[in-house]
Structure 1
Amino acid sequence: MRKSTDTLDDEVNKSKALETKLTESKINRNYWKISFLLLIGIILGFSLFIGIRVSEPQKVNLPKVNETTTTEPTFQIQLNKTQVNDIISYYLNDFLKDSGIKYQFYLEKNALLNGTFKVLGHDMQFYLYFDPFVMENGDIQLKATSLSIGSLPLPITQVMKYVASDYEIPKWVDVQPSSKTIILHLSQFELQNGMKLAADKMNIVDDDIRFNIFLPLDKQNREKGE
């Protein structure tokens, strides 16, 4: 009878041990299941966060760039009379290469226009002197002050009328005989690379000549504007 009781107790203990083992196994399975689901949730959440941040536009305070030529000069250049004369000579030689009339414009103590006109079939050389002034918009005004033409007494206005009618001059140069002035509309003149310039200072006496340089429109904006 004792043996039978011991056997029953052993069976009960085994059953309890098995139940305990099954319970622990179930708990372990639930633990790994929860851990796996939690890991998946973290991965999905992190992926979603990265996706939103990547597609979200960055709020960066970039400098504003004008789509037109800048209103403020990009930089300034300082030249002397020799440098200016070299530039003018190069430009006029290129501009007048197919023209039958040649003339020169250069700086000495004043601005000087040198050319010729015909009198009774003969070429007569003249020297027309100007005082240069910088205008508010960066253009240059040349005010005629004197005329040298040998012993022939001709008024300044007469020579300037001849220049305006018979000389081939750039479109941005405006000859005004009645007021004895020539306006250099630098605002209408464009360098080959698209840059523009404006006069800032014209001190011929102290050999101090300064121009402000402006960046051009970029290529894309140029194509849109055409």
Structure 2
Amino acid sequence: MAEQRSKKTEKETKQINLWKWAFLILIGLLIGLLIWLFVQLQPVKVGEENTEPFATSEEDLIFEVSTTKEDVTRLTNEYLNQELDGEFEGFRFDLEDSAELSGEIEVFGFPIEFSLFMTPYVLENGNLQLRGESLNIGSLNLPISFAMAQISRQVDFPEWIAIDSEDQFIVVNLNEFSLDNGTQFSLERINLQENDIRLNIHLPLDAVR
């Protein structure tokens, strides 16, 4: 009788230990998830907005060119895919009623499709600011800053592109970008409703000699 009672007590102790370990593992997973969320929701700042005036030489040839949303969309995607050596693959930039960046980002370790909608602004020095306005990311309700932070972590953008997830904007520092022959670009106007995009091409005299 005493032996049966001892075996029963031992069995109950093992069951309690199993539940105890299961509870501790669950608590550990929850703590790990909270730490991961805390880290992922931290603001990310990549690069700096260049507020310096566009520097040009008196010898530069400057042309104003008008283009369309369709042309800018095509050229932007082609350039980023080449410049980023495939890192931009899976992402797409579109100009329609707003500027849209779409693709897949990892959320909780799983790829989730997203669309980030931004309003473009021409800055005083001819640079471009894209300010986040809305985010579609499946059925999840996540802030724009989260998507921007994940994009900046997953894509190694050129140095002339700055991302500030806390203030929810991307700046294309055109005054830091140039082609191999020294040609640079600055924006004059963007009106997506009228499909009117104007930019200046700054062509060094040496490039045409």
Output the TM-score relative to the length of structure 1. Answer: 0.62
- Partner Cα separation in structure 2 for residue 141 and residue 170 of structure 1: 15
The 3-state SS of whatever aligns with 1:84 is helix
Letter of the 1:183 partner, please give it: V
Rg: which structure is higher?
1
Aligned to 1:162: 150
Pair 1:173 & 2:161 matched: yes
2:112 to 124, 145, 152: 124
Deviations 1:82-137 (A, max 9, x none): 11111112101212334385322120110011121123443101100000000000
Closer, same or farther in 2 for the Cα pair 1:188/1:100, shift >3 Å? closer
CA contact (8 A) 1:160 1:175 kept: yes
Aligned to 1:110: 98
CA contact (8 A) 1:69 1:214 kept: no
> What's the % identity of the aligned pairs?
35
Output the TM-score relative to the length of structure 2. Answer: 0.67
Within 5 A, what are the aligned runs for 1:37-186? 69-70=57-58, 74-99=62-87, 102-186=90-174
Could you list the runs of 5+ residues in structure 1 that have no partner in the other structure?
1-67, 220-226
Moved over 2 A (4+): 68-73, 96-102, 119-122, 216-219
User: Number of aligned pairs?
Assistant: 152
Letter of the 1:104 partner, please give it: R
Q: CA RMSD in A?
A: 2.0
The 3-state SS of whatever aligns with 2:81 is helix
The 3-state SS of whatever aligns with 1:218 is helix
- Partner Cα separation in structure 2 for residue 92 and residue 108 of structure 1: 18
- Partner Cα separation in structure 2 for residue 204 and residue 71 of structure 1: 33
Could you list the runs of 5+ residues in structure 2 that have no partner in the other structure?
1-55
